[in-house]
A and B are shown apart, each in its own frame.
Chain A
Amino acid sequence: MRTIQAKDIIEAVASMCIKANTELPDDVRAKFEQAMAEEDSPSAKEVLRQLLENADLAAETKLPLCQDTGLAVFFVEIGEDVVVEGGNLKEIINEGVRRGYGDGFLRKSSCDPFTRANTGDNTPAIIHFDIVPGDRLKISYMAKGGGAENMSRVTMLAPAQGWEGIKKYVINRVAEAGPNPCPPTIIGIGIGGTFDHAARISKKALLRRLDDTHPDPQIAAMEKELEEDINQLGIGPMGLGGKTTVLGVKMAVEPCHLASLPLAVNVQCHSQRHEEVEL
């Protein structure tokens, strides 16, 4: 058994929240630069230039990249041989969020669905737990802004619709979303499982690096095909036209029921604000 102290987790969570919201990941920066070189349209180039300048300014001033610092979403992998001392892990993570969003001057966006009253400290966080072998604790954090999340969907396709049906649905979703989620976006796709599971894996897929390749060559090819097709829509940065509507497509595929073909499309903001820590 390995003991991990609550205070170390709180600190790690708080600093992840701040870092992810103020520092543009290097793989995203590289994509912005590549897209800027590939775009012909002056407005597309100008938007990408502004996003790069925004990232420089955020790094320098510690202002968040975007004012919507999102709901705090976590994927936690806890080793079977880990003991957390000093509190309940869910509470500990929420305390880290409270601290990070407070100390980092991040926006608190969590509210009651009916009264719309703000909970005041951006909790409760959305936490997905997974138990894994070993004695490590891995926590991944993602800032999930409302604009992009609102453009996301889950649907239950008929098995006969297959890959063609999936493609059509995803491309249509991006087309419908148009300029709303601040394109260029990143699209997480969950295929399989159940209604809820598809959504969960579509979100988890967004933790992947933009420049990685799916280990399954067939899925890697599907991701590429979908990315190319979506970019043919021509929506471009901020919907002003251009070649860059999405920066990447990340798919997660798992077995599903004989009768179903669950599909989730999770739209993520261009800055893909996420961080992970292993304790």
Chain B
Amino acid sequence: MAEYELKTPLKDEDLAKLKAGDVVKLTGHIYTARDAAHKRLVDLLDKGEKLPFELQGAVVYYVGPSPAPPGRPIGSAGPTTSYRMDTYAPRLHGLGLKASVGKGKRNEEVRQALKDHTAVYFGATGGAGALLSKCITKAEVIAFDDLGPEAIRELTVENFPLLVINDSHGGELYVQPDRKAAGIE
């Protein structure tokens, strides 16, 4: 398992070398979006309108941060469960999205989209939002302010710690539960 330092926007050659289990320290700009923001992004695409950020080479972070207390750029900011964005992710990958960051399993369509478009799915440690916020130096709402915690924010991150869960070659890091050992098979 290798360790890489990557900068956004991500390029195909950065992603092609990544394998499930690799550790990536990510620096640059990433965009927050979860359920409600994804719905609006797709609505914009349907209407043929411009998205609030450049999708080509982009990284989307599935997160709804807690409010920033005074003197901090952001509150707690760990990943939310990714499967809820599975309906939207393949379309965004088709338009240049290079990675998403979340926690939990992705469906077959997303895994196929990662292969088709040389993209990856990163995991960040769930429930460690205080710790992860340390790597975020700036946060700015760039769209859908009315969505509150679900607004799209541009985050400036430094060495944000990620783990490759699904790579662009079909590899997956999550273990299959051993139902036999647990006595239910």
Contacts and interface: CB of A to CB of B under 8 A. Distances in A.
B148 A57 contact: no
Interface in A123-176: 146-147, 150, 167-168, 171-172, 174-175
B63 A67 contact: yes
Given A67-B64, A105-B67, A178-B105, A232 B129 contact: no
A175 B184 CA distance: 10
Nearest to B180: A232
B170 interface: no
9 contacts: A54-B129, A61-B72, A65-B129, A67-B63, A105-B68, A108-B149, A118-B150, A146-B81, A238-B126
Given A62-B69, A116-B35, A179 B125 contact: no
A135 B129 CA distance: 40
B2 interface: no
Interface in B76-134: 76-78, 80-81, 83, 103-105, 123, 125-131, 133-134
A202 interface: no
Interface in B171-185: 173-175, 177-179, 181-184
A232 B149 CA distance: 37
Contacts of B81: 146-147, 150, 180-181
A233 B181 contact: yes
Of residues B35, B147, B149, B184, which shows the largest number of chain A Cβ atoms within 10 Å of its Cβ? B184
Interface residues of B, number: 45
A182 B75 contact: no
B81 to A, nearest CB: 5
B122 to A, nearest CB: 12
Nearest to A169: B184
B175 A67 contact: no
Given A66-B126, A167-B183, 9 more contacts: A57-B134, A61-B72, A66-B76, A67-B63, A68-B80, A105-B68, A105-B75, A172-B184, A178-B177
Interface of B: 35-36, 63-69, 72, 75-78, 80-81, 83, 103-105, 123, 125-131, 133-134, 147-150, 163, 173-175, 177-179, 181-184
A107 B76 CA distance: 9
B127 A269 contact: yes
B175 A241 contact: yes
Contacts of A47: 125
Given A63-B76, A67-B75, A179-B105, A239 B131 contact: no
Nearest to A176: B177
A266 interface: no
A51 B178 contact: no
A262 interface: no
A65 B183 contact: no
Interface residues of A, number: 53
Q: Which 6 A-B pairs have the closest CB atoms?
A: A182-B126, A180-B104, A175-B177, A54-B131, A67-B129, A67-B76
Contacts of A179: 103-105, 123, 174
Contacts of B36: 116
B125 A51 contact: yes
Interface string A188-229: 000000000000000000000000000000000000000001
Given A63-B75, A67-B78, A179-B174, A53 B131 contact: yes
A233 B182 CA distance: 5
Contacts of B104: 147, 178-181, 239
Contacts of B63: 67
B129 A175 contact: no
A50 B125 contact: yes
A229 B182 contact: yes
B127 A271 contact: yes
Contacts of A61: 72, 130
A260 interface: no
- Most chain B beta-carbon contacts within 10 A, residue among A57, A116, A167, A269: A57
